[in-house]
Structure 1
Amino acid sequence: MQPNVLSLLVYLGAAVAEIAGCFAFWAWLRLDKPVWWLIPGMASLALFAWLLTLVESDYAGRAYAAYGGVYILSALCWQWLAEGARPDRWDVLGGAVCLGGAAIILLAPRAAG
């Protein structure tokens, strides 16, 4: 599998893990779910952090910056699929801009060294 495809898959997995983990805390605090929701939430956040270490990048900051665009698009999908609130045109436009920025960071040709 090509490194960029693998990175995209890792980013998607990390986004799902981060959103699910954060949503567990949201559900506990805002939706009155039981405190045990925090257990899978914390496990999901640990999985998210581990997944980001799998991205091939010389710098953690660059890996995290590229991930940001994927996360934003994934969060909008979560909003629609899990929460039933369809993104509006401004959500879609903002997500596209962020994903474009992530693609520039991730796919830019860089000199070795």
Structure 2
Amino acid sequence: MLVDRLAVIMLLFTLAGLCEIGGGYLVWGWLREEWPLWLAILGGAVLFLYGVVAALQPISEFGRVYAAYGGIFIAMSLLWGVLVDGFRPDRYDVAGALIALTGVLVMVAPERGAG
């Protein structure tokens, strides 16, 4: 069923985003904010999990998974900035994220048959 498939895709994209952004944030903190090295190592492990989670997608084409995930990453990065760093996106940030999310739906919603 299309709704179930989209729910799985979006759940996995969300988990992948949390891993990639969270892991990257820990490495960023170590490199730019002088956080302890163990946080950077933890960040590297979380980034490894991102690759595993992304590979669990029911979409079989690597390029499509990563291209569609890019739109999710854009929106989640802005949201992370708001929730964690106090960043305030402007209307262009929001418009860009909405355009990217629209692209994600265009790419992943249709079920494609073989051939």
Structure 1 length as normaliser, TM-score?
0.94
Which residue of the partner structure matches residue 67 of structure 1? Answer: 69
User: Are 2:5 and 1:22 aligned?
Assistant: no
Q: Deviations over 1:16-64 (max 9, x none)?
A: 1100111111101111111111121011101110001111112111111
Q: Following the alignment from structure 1 to structure 2, what is the Cα–Cα distance between the partners of residues 109 and 16?
A: 26
Matched residue of 2:35: which SS? coil
* Aligned counterpart for 2:85 among listed residues 66, 83, 86: 83
Alignment root-mean-square deviation, CA? 1.3
Paired residue type of 2:42:
P
Question: Where does structure 2 lack aligned partners over 5 or more consecutive residues?
Answer: none
TM-superposed deviation, 1:109: 4.5
Q: Following the alignment from structure 2 to structure 1, what is the Cα–Cα distance between the partners of residues 97 and 10?
A: 16
Aligned length: 113
* Aligned counterpart for 1:54 among listed residues 53, 56, 61: 56
TM-superposed deviation, 1:111: 3.7
Paired residue type of 1:3:
R
TM-superposed deviation, 1:11: 0.2
Question: Where does structure 1 lack aligned partners over 5 or more consecutive residues?
Answer: none
Identity %: 37
